[in-house]
């Protein structure tokens, strides 16, 4: 199967199908399931629901849980067979009995049984993105099995893997990669999965992407590598992962700034010290770009090759501004070149110069009458571009020239302050806040700058926003607070900062999920500790009756399980379907979590509504080692309980 996975990884679906067919014909249930998925999606083979149905039925009969669920989907929708609701229900039950999450959702059983938010009437891509945002790796798997394209992109070129990388949804990212999602894809802004994981401080996701083949020195539109972005944000853990994978310590962006220079410019002392321990030395100031003649700039636009394609339709002034050619810009301005002429993406010379951080060129363009409020086709302004890319000197010049700090948001709903938070540069943030940026101006979905900073775990930015009286308990459209987002971040610094400002520790979202639930589900043990120390209720329940202990157990986060048990979480509490934390861990095959629960006094003799014990659930899901462990505790059970 490794050869099949390798073929899928490089998107050679025809080769994958060729490898799968003989295995499927020999009765390999996994091969039958994968081959069926390819026939459903038309990947490497003609799209054929009837053939897909035949292979799914064979795999389902062999006990393959995912095939059983997908066979139910086929029966329910009449794909490749006549519609048969009864048969669909029967196969959903068989799959759910083995612990498959999507089948449990169909039957409204088990952990996180609610469908993804806003999924009604959505396209497959939108449903896939929603599943990623909700942390539903099981649903991501199901949607991909139903034919959702793993690399389907939105209007900005963003893929589901990029969404998972930015949010640190490790299991969702793992599932997407297994289905062939490209780890080196880039959106229209030059961001890719590894760049996003590094910028948003997700060390484990960074490691996963590197193992999947992501280029460790990939570059964004400004020439930043993942290491430069991590250093600029002070993400020491991510830096370690990248350097261990061979990241170029001395790589520089288009401004000539290395990772160490970026860390020192932003006063990221811990990051700078870590880089110096690896051998980095403080570089000299980058020399200016070598001067180019005007005819050379013209030749870039008129020639052939990659650069000609890049600059097609760009005014010569914009090319000069983008490339940092100050003398050429001044010469063109003397010749009365149109200062606000636009390129095909709606950018002017000013927005391109601001994006690249060419402060002297920005000053020259403003002096020549360039409009500071010009908007590109994506709604971004010179100020928002400079803010997001961390060019404090340019931001200050634009603000002094009258650029609106509270203007309309861009096409993605982001304000200038949102851009500054994403950029993470302390100098930019201070300048924008000093200019009067509204700290609570939210996106359409209710996301505030404080929530955005909290999601990245950036304590320094969180504290700066709180210092400007950002509302600590503001909620987005789903009822989530900044603390809720901070609880899911790998760095607990934002959790500590928010709790110190009085954030409501048990504020739940619309599904009843509290910050403690979110931290437990993601295995953020340090956040679990901080929340419990501030009085978080370990027995709080979601709308489906799950406790933090159940969520941690189901996801296999044994350290979080132990900490919750120490906080007197009830190991035998049941959710709305009668399942205990031990049953959930057993069914999912989480050996270490099962061991922790047994050590914490969980009763292995309790039964669910089907009168199944944890041992039965483990054995039915094929986790014989877990079942054997539970079988050894037969003599240690409490009085048997039946739901």
Q: Which of 539, 537, 545, 558 is nearest to 643 (CA)?
A: 545
CA 543 to CA 511: how far, in whole Å? 5
For residues 94 and 582, give the distance between their C-alpha atoms in angstroms, rounded to a whole number. 21
pLDDT at 513: 94
Residue 624 tokens read as 């014989």
Q: What is the mean pLDDT of residues 118-122?
A: 52
Question: What pLDDT, on the 0 to 100 scale, is given for residue 115?
Answer: 40
> Encoding tokens for residue 37?
């998925």
Q: Residue 285: pLDDT above 80?
A: no
Structure confidence by residue, pLDDT tens digits, 403-417: 999 999 988 788 999
pLDDT beyond 70 at 246: yes
**Is residue 304 predicted with pLDDT exceeding 70?**
no
What is the rounded distance in angstroms from the CA atom of residue 112 to the CA atom of residue 345? 42
Query: What DSSP state is assigned to residue 168?
Result: T
Paired strand residues for 607: 642
Residue 109 predicted with pLDDT over 60: no
**pLDDT score of 640:** 42
Chain segment 479-511, per-residue pLDDT in tens: 999 999 999 988 899 999 999 999 999 999 998
Q: Give the model's pLDDT for residue 479.
A: 94
**Of 21-30, 99-108, 204-213, 451-460, highest mean pLDDT:** 204-213
Burial 246-278 (b: 16+ CB within 10 A, else e): ebebebbbbbbbbbbbbbbbbebeebbebbeee
Lowest mean pLDDT among 283-297, 384-398, 428-442, 523-537: 283-297
State the pLDDT at residue 117: 43
Spatial distance between the Cα atoms of 525 and 519, rounded to a whole number of angstroms: 7
């959930």: which residue's tokens? 584
409/303 Cα distance (integer angstroms): 37
Radius of gyration of the chain measured on its C-alpha atoms: 27
On average, the pLDDT of the chain sits at 88
Q: Is residue 323's pLDDT more than 70?
A: yes
- Binning pLDDT at 50, 70 and 90, where does residue 281 land? confident
Taking the C-alpha atoms of residue 285 and residue 277, their distance in angstroms, rounded to an integer, is 21
Residue 288 CB coordination number (10 Å) = 13
> Above pLDDT 90, what percent of the chain?
54
Residue 535 structure tokens: 């009085």
Contact 519/531 with Cβ under 8 angstroms?
yes
Under DSSP, is residue 195 helix (H, G, I), strand (E, B) or coil? helix
Give 587-610 pLDDT, tens digit per residue: 888 999 999 999 999 999 999 888
How far is 66 from 52, CA to CA, in rounded Å?
Answer: 13
Is residue 538 a contact partner of residue 547, using CB atoms and an 8 Å limit? yes
List all residues 6 or more positions away from 343 whose beta carbon is below 8 Å from its beta carbon.
313, 314, 315, 318, 352
Work out the angle at residue 149's Cα, subtended by the Cα atoms of residues 146 and 152, and round it to the nearest 5 degrees. 145
Q: Are 548 and 564 in contact (CB under 8 A)?
A: yes
> Under a CB-based contact definition with an 8 Å cutoff, are residues 17 and 51 in contact?
no
Q: How far apart are CA 575 and CA 52, in angstroms?
A: 36
Distance CA 275, CA 460 (A): 20
And the tokens for 592? 């270490």
pLDDT tens digits for 123-167?
Answer: 888 889 988 887 778 788 878 877 888 999 987 789 999 999 998
pLDDT for 267 = 82
Question: Is 185:192 a contact under the CB 8 Å cutoff?
Answer: yes
Please report which confidence band the pLDDT of residue 306 belongs to, taking 50, 70 and 90 as the band edges: low
Burial of 279 (0-12, 13-18, 19+ CB in 10 A): exposed
Residues 50-71 have pLDDT tens digits of 898 999 989 988 888 888 888 8
The pLDDT of residue 100 is above 80: no
Q: What's the mean pLDDT in 187-196?
A: 89
Q: How confident is the model at residue 105 (pLDDT cuts 50, 70, 90)?
A: low
CA distance 192 to 156: 12
pLDDT at 96: 79
HSE on the CB side for 466, CA within 13 Å? Answer: 23
Quick: pLDDT tens for 335-391: 999 999 999 999 999 999 999 889 999 999 999 999 999 999 989 999 999 998 889
Position 116 confidence tier, pLDDT thresholds 50, 70, 90:
very low
Residue 209 has pLDDT above 90, yes or no: yes
Please state the domain extents for the chain: 288-397
What is the C-alpha separation between 339 and 327, in angstroms, rounded? Answer: 15
Q: Are 410 and 380 in contact (CB under 8 A)?
A: yes
Specify the CATH architecture of the domain 288-397.
Alpha Horseshoe (1.25)
pLDDT at 288 over 80: no
Residues 6+ apart with CB under 8 A from 296: none
pLDDT band at 181 (very low <50, low <70, confident <90, very high): very high
Q: What percent of the chain has pLDDT over 70?
A: 93
Structure tokens at 447: 């996301």
Largest CA distance in the chain: 92
**SS3 label, residue 490:** coil
CA-to-CA dists, residue 230 to 115, 236, 263, 281, 554, angstroms: 34, 7, 9, 17, 31
- Residue, of 283 and 607, whose pLDDT is higher: 607
By CB atoms closer than 10 A (0-12, 13-18, 19+), residue 393 is middle
Mean pLDDT, residues 504-530: 95
């Amino acid at each position: 199967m490794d050869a099949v996975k390798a073929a899928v990884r490089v998107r050679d679906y025809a080769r994958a199908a060729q490898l799968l067919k003989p295995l499927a014909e020999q009765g390999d249930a996994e091969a039958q399931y994968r081959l069926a998925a390819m026939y459903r999606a038309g990947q490497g083979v003609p799209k054929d629901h009837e053939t897909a149905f035949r292979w799914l039925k064979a795999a389902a009969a062999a006990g393959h849980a995912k095939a059983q669920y997908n066979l139910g989907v086929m029966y329910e929708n009449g794909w490749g067979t006549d519609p048969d609701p009864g048969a669909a229900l029967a196969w959903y039950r068989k799959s759910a009995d083995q612990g498959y999450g999507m089948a449990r959702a169909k039957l409204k059983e088990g952990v996180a049984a609610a469908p993804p938010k806003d999924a009604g009437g959505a396209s497959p891509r939108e449903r896939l993105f929603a599943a990623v945002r909700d942390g539903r790796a099981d649903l991501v798997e199901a949607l991909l099995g139903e034919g959702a394209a793993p690399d389907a992109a939105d209007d900005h070129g963003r893929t589901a893997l990029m969404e998972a990388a930015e949010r640190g949804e490790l299991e969702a990212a793992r599932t997407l990669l297994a289905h062939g999602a490209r780890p080196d894809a880039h959106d229209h802004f030059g961001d890719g999965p590894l760049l996003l994981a590094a910028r948003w401080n997700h060390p484990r996701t960074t490691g996963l992407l590197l193992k999947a083949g992501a280029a460790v020195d990939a570059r964004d539109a400004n020439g930043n590598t993942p290491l430069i972005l991590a250093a600029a944000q002070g993400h020491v853990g991510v830096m370690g992962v990248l350097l261990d994978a061979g990241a170029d310590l001395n790589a520089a962006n288009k401004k000539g700034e290395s990772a160490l220079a970026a860390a020192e410019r932003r006063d990221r002392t811990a990051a700078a010290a870590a880089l110096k321990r690896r051998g980095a030395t403080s570089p000299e100031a980058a020399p200016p770009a070598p001067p180019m003649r005007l005819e050379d700039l013209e030749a870039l636009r008129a020639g052939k090759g990659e650069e000609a394609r890049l600059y097609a339709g760009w005014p010569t002034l914009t090319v000069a501004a983008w490339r940092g050619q100050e003398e050429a810009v001044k010469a063109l301005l003397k010749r009365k070149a149109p200062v606000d002429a636009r390129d095909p993406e709606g950018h002017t010379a000013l927005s391109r110069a601001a994006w690249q951080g060419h402060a002297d060129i920005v000053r020259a363009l403003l002096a020549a009458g360039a409009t500071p409020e010009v908007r590109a086709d994506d709604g971004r302004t010179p100020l928002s571009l400079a803010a997001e890319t961390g060019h404090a000197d340019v931001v200050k010049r634009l603000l002094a020239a009258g650029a609106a700090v509270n203007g309309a948001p861009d096409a993605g709903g982001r304000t200038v302050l949102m851009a500054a938070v994403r950029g993470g540069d302390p100098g930019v943030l201070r300048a924008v806040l000093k200019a009067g940026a509204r700290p609570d101006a939210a996106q359409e979905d209710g996301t505030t700058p404080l929530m955005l900073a909290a999601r990245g775990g950036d304590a320094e930015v969180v504290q700066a926003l709180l210092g400007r009286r950002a509302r600590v308990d503001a909620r987005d459209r789903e009822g989530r607070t900044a603390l809720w987002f901070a609880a899911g971040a790998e760095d607990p610094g934002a959790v500590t900062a928010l709790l110190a400002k009085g954030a409501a520790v048990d504020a739940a979202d619309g599904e009843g999920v509290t910050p403690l639930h979110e931290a437990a589900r993601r295995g953020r043990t340090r956040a679990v500790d901080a929340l419990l120390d501030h009085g978080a209720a370990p027995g709080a329940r979601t709308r489906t009756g799950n406790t933090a202990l159940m969520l941690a157990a189901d996801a296999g986060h044994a350290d979080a399980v132990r900490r919750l048990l120490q906080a007197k979480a009830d190991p035998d509490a049941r959710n709305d379907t009668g399942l205990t934390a031990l049953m959930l861990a057993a069914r999912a095959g989480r050996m270490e979590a099962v061991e922790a629960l047994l050590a914490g006094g969980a009763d292995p003799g309790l039964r669910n509504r089907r009168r199944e014990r944890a041992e039965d659930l483990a054995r039915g899901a094929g986790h014989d080692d877990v079942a054997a462990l539970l079988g050894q505790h037969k003599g240690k059970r409490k009085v048997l309980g039946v739901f």
